[in-house]
């Protein structure tokens, strides 16, 4: 069975991303086709990128890089739970993506985004980044509105229709995550 990490893209105090990730995890318990776990960037406490060599060269020098790489290497696919900061993904998420390289390659990703414009612009930027990281990102997406899915912009109360959207996204993600396993057996990371 493939392993899917639900990555919380926000690290700030009072973040609403944690409740969204918890909702994804609770929903995933209804499935038996993949194992899911929450990956909290806050717990990895990565500094701003402090590796002397670009990650694609594969020489990780810092203990925090190695432990982050080890966690990502153990996963087959990712759900990025992301807010939108200034029409982009949070710097903490971009930083975590930049830290490592081969561990992302030839895996699959899906997105659950939120914001006043549903976090759509942040995800469009993430899709560009996924291309460079050689991550296959699925089309189906969960788009949450700060106005209608959060009470007072803070308490997560998703509209019921998002359950079906999440199922659709996870269906694609599990299928692609399984397919990318076979790709990894044929293609060396580069």
Ligand X SMILES: Cc1cc2nc3c(=O)[nH]c(=O)nc-3n(C[C@H](O)[C@H](O)[C@H](O)COP(=O)(O)O)c2cc1C
Q: Which parts of this chain interact with ligand X (CB under 6 A)?
A: 10, 12, 15-17, 83-87, 115-117, 146
Closest CB 116 distance from ligand X, rounded Å: 4
Closest separation in Å from C-beta 73 to ligand X: 26
Which residue is nearest to ligand X, using beta carbons?
115
Task: Decide whether 86 or 161 has the Cβ nearer to ligand X.
Answer: 86
Residue 110 or 177 having the CB closest to ligand X: 110
Task: Please say which residue, 9 or 177, places its beta carbon nearer to ligand X.
Answer: 9
CB of residue 26 to ligand X, shortest distance in Å: 17
Please say which residue, 110 or 115, places its beta carbon nearer to ligand X.
Answer: 115
Shortest approach of ligand X to residue 160 CB, angstroms? 21
Q: What is the 3-state secondary structure (H, E, C) of the chain?
A: CEEEEEEECCCCCCCCHHHHHHHHHHHHCCCCCEEEEEEEHHHHCCCCCCCCCCHHHCCCCCHHHHHHHHHHHCCCEEEEEEECECCECCHHHHHHHHHCCCCCCCEEEEEEEEECCCCHHHHHHHHHHHHHHCEEEEEEEEEEECCCCEECCCEECCCCHHHHHHHHHHHHHHHHHHHHHHHHHHCCCC
Q: Report the nearest approach of ligand X to the CB of residue 89 (Å).
A: 10
């Amino acid at each position: 069975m493939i392993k899917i990490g639900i990555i919380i893209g926000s690290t700030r105090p009072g973040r609403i991303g944690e409740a969204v990730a918890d909702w994804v995890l609770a929903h995933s318990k209804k499935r038996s086709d993949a194992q899911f776990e929450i990956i909290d960037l806050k717990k990895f406490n990565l500094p701003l990128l402090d590796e002397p060599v670009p990650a694609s060269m594969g020489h990780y020098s810092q203990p925090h890089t190695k432990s982050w790489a080890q966690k990502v290497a153990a996963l087959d696919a990712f759900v990025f739970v992301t807010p939108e900061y200034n029409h982009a993904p949070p710097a903490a998420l971009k930083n975590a993506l930049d830290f490592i390289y081969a561990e992302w390659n030839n895996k699959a990703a899906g997105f659950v985004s939120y914001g006043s414009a549903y976090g759509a612009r942040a995800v469009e930027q993430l899709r560009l980044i996924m291309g460079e990281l050689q991550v296959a990102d699925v089309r189906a997406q969960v788009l949450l509105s700060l106005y209608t899915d959060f009470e007072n912009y803070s308490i997560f109360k998703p509209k019921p229709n998002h359950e079906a959207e999440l199922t659709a996204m996870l269906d694609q993600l599990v299928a692609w995550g399984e397919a990318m396993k076979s790709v990894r057996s044929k293609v060396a990371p580069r």
